[in-house]
Chain A
Amino acid sequence: MRKRTAMRMHIAWILALVNLFLVPAFGMTVIEDAEVIIESSGVPGQPVAIKLPFNWDTAQGGMDGKARVLIRFPADDPRAPLGILFSRLGNAYEARLNGVLLGAKGSGNDPHEDYSKQPQFFKVPEGVLQEKNELAILVHAQGGRRAGVSVPVIGPADEVHRQYEEAYRWRVSGFLALSIVSAVLGVIALLLWLRQREPLYVYYGVGEILWAILVSDTLAQRTLLPWPWWGIVVFSAYALAAALISKFSLIFVDRHAGPMKIFGDWHAWLTVPAVAASFLLRMPLLLSVWLGITLLVCIGTALIAVVEGMKSRELEKRVLAVAVIATCIAATRDMLYFRVFPGFGGVPWVRYAWVAFGVTLAWTIAERLRKSAQAIASMNQDLAQRLAEGEAKLAATYAAQAETQRNQAIVEERQRLTRDMHDGLGSQLLGALQLSQNPEVAREVITAHLREALDHLKLTVDAMQDIEGDIASLLGALRYRLSERLDAAGIRLAWSVDPLPAIGGWTLQQSRDLQMILFEAFSNLLAHSGASNASLRAEYLGREHAIRIRLSDDGKGFNPRSQEGPGGHGLANMRSRTARLGAALDIESSPAGTCVNLLLPLPSA
């Protein structure tokens, strides 16, 4: 008995590494020899010696039925408390030791029931144990539901119960936790999908929820649907979850295309029909083949994911590669354990390995959040930079424009000066030159002419200063330039200039125009009026929002409308400059004197 066990154990070790249910602890006995009487279609067969575990599906294919398994074992000390552990027993069962009922679950003819999924522990009641014992187990089997009897572990009640608790933790509590995790992750992923509509999330979400159904099946001793329909649900969930997670992985590594995608699509579409056919037609082999194909899909995906993960510098792809590798190792092991070497009563590893996908997704979401935060930050930076560039460009454009305007202003100013020189100083110098060539003209006349030319030049220089719309200082400067000539002409000038509001946007041309209007008026006063008293009054008129400048004298007057005589040309000049200023010029002249009125409106604020 030991020798054969050793070899089987060896395989089990390789496959399971740690398979608690087959590892005999100190003082434990693992019984493999048994006798089975199979009742198929209500007809009891002959007792047959077998090696445990007894796997109904292996023995009887897809048929329903029941089997009576007899396990005989000795007891060294019949009084020591004894415990018996089956990691798998069912679907329904009734266990008797030496004819005494140890436990029973299920009626045996309800297809909703399956008690085989959880480990079963029996404590042998006192006085039942004898030196030679017979453990009789009646199992009711539903075809394809992995009914049967696992290898019993028999030993001291405390130690066996500890193993039972361990097994329970892995197969019940652990799966409960796993199914909750899967369900939560699935719901989160689906919520994400609702908000973002990324296929990645929907594949993952549905996959996780299917996985949660599969894992929670272990917890349900009464299933929602009767067998075999529940079997179709569970195995379809398994294969579909694998298919969807494969898609998730392919999308994840940007390889959701090509033959692998097509293969995966076909597999996904055909999963439910294939699984259903396997159950309804009672062909367990078809299920095994289909799960093998599922594994191929997974391995194909895994290879792609691993290759991409290794190539990629993105950490989450590497995490996915690790998850895929872990899942594939676990799935391969499970495939070998449950399907190829039909193991019985072990823990499917893949259910634990699966959690790695959850980690991957969580990691991915975290990475995406980080990246999007980073992207936003860099976008902000980029935006700020572009804004700065835009501003710089704008400033450059503005500067260029200002430069153009400045150049234009310079050109205009140059033109203005040229015109001034031509009309004013130029003609005055020319006049002086012509006078000097005439020997009859007195020196004093030429001198006066040249003085006037010099005054004109000084006024031109004054007009070049930006007075910032300060009309009062313009008047002041004019008086300063003319006072000498007024004194020389014996004209007493009464001066009254109020503080005047500055005119915004006042240009040099305007300065020049106003200056020349007044200069012309003073020239007339000096040259033709014969006045001895004059007065200049400048004031701000609030009602008209204008500045009024009034120059009056007590001279002999002239006819302002005459084109001949005093100021003919000068008057026309004054009027054109007045028009350019948008001002109003009014000249009253009578033999009692002349009064020049200039009304300069201020721009409305």
Chain B
Amino acid sequence: MHKPIRVAVVEDDARTLSRLCGAIVREPGFVLAESFSCGLPAIAWLRHHPVDILLTDLGLPDTSGIEVIRACVEHQAQCDIMVITMFGDEKNVLTSIESGAMGYILKGIDEMDVGRAMRDLRAGGSPMTPLIARKVLTRARRSDPSAAAQDGGTQAPAVALTNREAEILNLIARGYTYEEVSKLLSVSLSTVQTHIKNTYGKLAVKSRAEAVYEANRMGLLRSRAF
């Protein structure tokens, strides 16, 4: 029998937290390691308690979810981080990805879909919305020197994508599902997922200062997101 997957949850909205915790507890193969409604205790706890999956909200009362993500990346390299977001909107998700998150789940999600999302993630399937794919492609184009000149080069760090990665993102941006993409490109679904995951890795901002700057710029550190 496999070792159960340990999950920690950080969410200040009590109902969402209890819903998520309930979903984890009920999901076979998953155990709820700990849950928090504030960021700082979670950061302290994460230093000493290894987990396999961290679910965190971005807007927390005491600190930003970005900080929680950073702390987790720092102390637990093997941990998969998912952001809990109301809308899966490009700004919040992309910033989380840049901080080291590998996926996200929507707040309105059905309980049974929480388990599916977590399993997908453990299996190497990171979610990618069309709008996020489009944004990532825009950044990749910016790494092209000719485009960078037009852009002024002042925006978020550029991303260098392989042709295949760009191809996949392009299809996703146009609304194709992972399955459709794998059929159109005649590759396996897991190959598509691997490419997406690699793209996630490329998006992660390496320096903490950059992440904090990005988060600050978007007002994530002060205000609660939704």
Contact = CB atoms under 8 A, between A and B. Distances in A.
Give the interface size class of chain B: 20 to 34
Nearest to A478: B175
A475 B174 contact: yes
A30 B174 CA distance: 124
Interface stretch (A63-71, A276-284, A462-470): A462-470
B87 A461 contact: yes
Interface string B75-93: 0000000000001111100
Contact of B130 (A458, A468, A479): A479
Contacts of B88: 458
Contacts of A475: 174-175
Contacts of A478: 175
Interface string B169-188: 01011111100100000000
Contact of B174 (A461, A462, A468, A473): A473
A99 interface: no
Interface string A486-510: 0000000001011100000000000
A467 B175 contact: no
Given A475-B175, A480-B130, A480-B175, A465 B180 contact: no
Contacts of B90: 465
A322 B168 CA distance: 92
B152 interface: no
Candidate in B130, B138, B170 with the most chain A CB atoms within 10 angstroms: B130
Give the interface size class of chain A: 20 to 34
- The main secondary structure of chain A at its interface with chain B is helix
A268 B108 CA distance: 109
A152 B159 CA distance: 110
B174 A472 contact: yes
B19 interface: no
Nearest to A450: B108
Nearest to A461: B87
A483 B130 CA distance: 13
Given A461-B87, A472-B175, A480 B134 contact: no
Candidate in A451, A467, A476 with the most chain B CB atoms within 10 angstroms: A476
A480 B129 contact: yes
Given A495-B176, A497-B174, A476 B87 contact: no
Given A472-B173, A476-B172, A480-B175, A495 B130 contact: no
Nearest to A470: B134
B131 interface: yes
A318 to B, nearest CB: 59
B134 A467 contact: yes
A499 B170 contact: yes
B164 to A, nearest CB: 16
A473 B89 contact: no
A497 B170 CA distance: 11
A465 B131 contact: yes
A219 interface: no
A436 B145 CA distance: 57
A476 B90 CA distance: 13
12 contacts: A454-B108, A461-B87, A462-B87, A465-B131, A473-B131, A476-B130, A476-B131, A477-B129, A479-B130, A483-B177, A495-B180, A497-B175
Given A473-B173, A477-B130, A495-B176, 9 more contacts: A457-B87, A462-B87, A467-B131, A468-B138, A472-B175, A473-B174, A475-B174, A475-B175, A478-B175
Q: Which 6 pairs between the two chains have the least Cβ-Cβ distance?
A: A476-B130, A476-B175, A479-B175, A473-B134, A497-B174, A472-B174
Interface of A: 451, 454, 457-458, 461-462, 465, 467-468, 470, 472-473, 475-480, 483, 495, 497-499
